[in-house]
Structure 1
């Protein structure tokens, strides 16, 4: 009976594919998890100390719905200095319960029933379910390793219909690590403007680019007013559990999102907001040190994957390698399950990121070099094991 009480729209949504493999990789066995994109660093000591002081001073109350003005001012300054985007703190910035809430608010504010939301594939696992929950229709635009998983103007143009309303992008990309340059964004921006689309740009990995500075599509001419930029402190600042994100956009879009936020979350946790202020004021050097560590791991792990026979494009951002396993003849879920069962390595099958992810697995390198080295050794043994010798490409 209780099953029938859940709406069909929610019943149809599958559980998170990432969490499924993460949970299996944390079952008490000697498993190396490359599943979750969570930094293995703890929040820097200075940030934690600032929050302890704030607690001792009794700072445990609600904040303004849109977030502490101090934090919004720091975010505005940071985005201007780092990515050359200017926002008015009082009306164009909303502090949220992680970037996940910001994404949900953005979709709820702009997507009406049967509006089409275009997303590059492969893409983050939460996008399709959130679009579905909000009554929208998902339209995937496949990207390819050959084109470094970038969104191309021709692919986008081919998927636009009269029902198209939103382009939801995520660069640097989860799961591929792809980035988009200013030159890459220019033709995309022209198509967006010509078709009167709204852009929701998930830039939570903006700080984690390794070969060049991040470019936000909102920084292009005519794009700021039609773009909602979403970001947060979880990844680059090692603050996943603090749950502080933010959304930036024109006053009308942010006001619409704020209405929903007022009636649901009320405000983001005050202590998390204080931590975010301290991170922006005094934590940028620590952020850069963590980024350099990620870069060292990235270079070692990607080369290691290639050395053991898994083709892998060069991820230039985020925390993930996205190697191809197509030559094994196994579907991505089959490969990931066997890798977990036989080798004790948990990776995420590419199909959970959309149709464009089939034939790949996602491996997070947000763990120690020693664990990454051990994971590579286990994967290599797995690839050369008797179990794997039954793969179709080796038969006969």
Structure 2
């Protein structure tokens, strides 16, 4: 006789996993898929995923790699030739001097970030997180039993944290700073001058390391990308993270990397060796081809992202309650939507938060976006502009229609 499954008490789970929050990006995408499964036409602007296919020359390199026998276990930190190509790229494009031994290749930039946090942060260590921040930063710190200290940039400064703000936030317990540039979710980009001022602050606090997330490096609309590790006084305390998902439209290939001192790189390799081992062999050969093939395919995609950004900003001008800075990079807009708080939906529901508004737009307009609460900015909502032009036009038409219904 079949018996019903036993439901175990919640206490069977570790405190660690019970405290961990689900990614709000993934959660909203899940809700969107549920509506799609019901036959509803949902436009999903919640995911930061290029709508372009991986360039053909990269796909061909992967096919060739399988035929050449790249189907076995690989070194934990990545193939030597790929790590050397990454070091060459960092020297050529970012003016950063690293050797292959300083590079660890991981299953996406997310794992590289997690490896670094777990390798550096002890229980009780404070981690300053520039906000708005990518949704997983705080959860990584929580897993490491650190204490997250969000530091919010102002709308007037394109959400960028200033050196003065940072100086005031550092305490004797500060171990790590985390930030992204170009930023997910705001699209803001730190200039070399702004990073130089931040580097001066970090130099005065020798116990502090910095985790610089540069995954959107190539999607930059304002000029040359600047890396914090270029400043010699703090280079050994900066861990630079990057990858292939955004610039080369390789999200599903799951290849990222970090560059750090030999000591930190070895620590991250040790961490990775006990969790996933090396990144997929075929994906690594594809990543090598991507680097050797140059930036032309990435530059073509960036022009499309720039056009889409401009098109969306023109549409957003018609939405009176959105306060939207012009993103300098990445493929998001991040408007302040607090003008809609306190308004009432046609069914009588009161919109009190950005989460309420995001759910209203999903259920009424069938457009999925992510609440700013997930990014440490509770007055905002993130919309991806990586979708096709016609999808974006229709999405913001629907959004305006839905918002106009609010009393």
Structure 1-normalised TM-score? 0.95
Give the distance between the partners of 1:37 and 1:298, measured in 2 at CA.
Answer: 14
1:317 equivalent in structure 2: 329
Q: What is the deviation of 1:214?
A: 1.1
Q: What is the deviation of 1:2?
A: 4.7
Give the distance between the partners of 1:285 and 1:203, measured in 2 at CA.
Answer: 19
Q: What is the deviation of 1:121?
A: 1.4
Preserved contact between residue 47 and residue 283 of structure 1 (Cα < 8 Å):
no
2:353 equivalent in structure 1: 331
Give 1:191-230 correspondences, 5 Å limit.
191-196=201-206, 197-230=208-241
2:49 aligned counterpart, secondary structure: coil
2:282 equivalent in structure 1: 271
1:394 equivalent in structure 2: none
Give the distance between the partners of 1:336 and 1:152, measured in 2 at CA.
Answer: 29
Preserved contact between residue 305 and residue 323 of structure 1 (Cα < 8 Å):
no
Preserved contact between residue 34 and residue 365 of structure 1 (Cα < 8 Å):
yes
Q: Does 1:350 align with 2:362?
A: no
Distance 1:231 1:2, change over 3 A: farther
Give the distance between the partners of 2:104 and 2:19, measured in 1 at CA.
Answer: 31
Preserved contact between residue 42 and residue 238 of structure 1 (Cα < 8 Å):
yes
Give the distance between the partners of 1:208 and 1:7, measured in 2 at CA.
Answer: 39
Which residue of the other structure, out of 176, 184, 202, is the alignment partner of 1:174? 184
Q: Does 1:6 align with 2:13?
A: yes
Gaps of 5+ in 2: 1-7, 342-351
Give the distance between the partners of 1:221 and 1:260, measured in 2 at CA.
Answer: 27
Task: For residues 12-64 of structure 1, give each alpha carbon's deviation from its aligned partner in whole angstroms, at most 9, with x where no partner exists.
Answer: 22211111111112221201111000101111111111111111222101122
Q: Does 1:119 align with 2:129?
A: yes
Which residue of the other structure, out of 382, 396, 407, is the alignment partner of 1:376? 396
Give the distance between the partners of 1:283 and 1:373, measured in 2 at CA.
Answer: 32
2:220 aligned counterpart, secondary structure: coil
Give the distance between the partners of 2:60 and 2:294, measured in 1 at CA.
Answer: 12
1:318 aligned counterpart, secondary structure: coil
Q: What is the deviation of 1:283?
A: 4.9
Which residue of the other structure, out of 161, 172, 189, is the alignment partner of 1:162? 172
Give the distance between the partners of 1:224 and 1:61, measured in 2 at CA.
Answer: 35
Give the distance between the partners of 2:269 and 2:335, measured in 1 at CA.
Answer: 40
Give the distance between the partners of 1:294 and 1:380, measured in 2 at CA.
Answer: 22
Give 1:100-139 correspondences, 5 Å limit.
100-139=110-149
Give 1:31-46 correspondences, 5 Å limit.
31-46=42-57
Q: What is the deviation of 1:377?
A: 0.7
2:150 aligned counterpart, secondary structure: strand
Structural RMSD (CA)? 1.1
2:356 aligned counterpart, secondary structure: helix
**Number of aligned residues:** 384
Give the distance between the partners of 1:374 and 1:133, measured in 2 at CA.
Answer: 40
Give the distance between the partners of 1:12 and 1:65, measured in 2 at CA.
Answer: 30
Gaps of 5+ in 1: 390-396
2:258 aligned counterpart, secondary structure: strand
Task: For residues 68-100 of structure 1, give each alpha carbon's deviation from its aligned partner in whole angstroms, at most 9, with x where no partner exists.
Answer: 1111111111122212112111x1111111111
1:18 equivalent in structure 2: 25
Task: For residues 111-147 of structure 1, give each alpha carbon's deviation from its aligned partner in whole angstroms, at most 9, with x where no partner exists.
Answer: 0110000001110110111100111000110111111
Give the distance between the partners of 2:196 and 2:317, measured in 1 at CA.
Answer: 32
Q: What is the deviation of 1:179?
A: 0.7
2:249 aligned counterpart, secondary structure: coil
Task: For residues 310-332 of structure 1, give each alpha carbon's deviation from its aligned partner in whole angstroms, at most 9, with x where no partner exists.
Answer: 22101101111001111112410
Give the distance between the partners of 1:185 and 1:58, measured in 2 at CA.
Answer: 44
Structure 2-normalised TM-score? 0.92
Q: Does 1:300 align with 2:322?
A: no
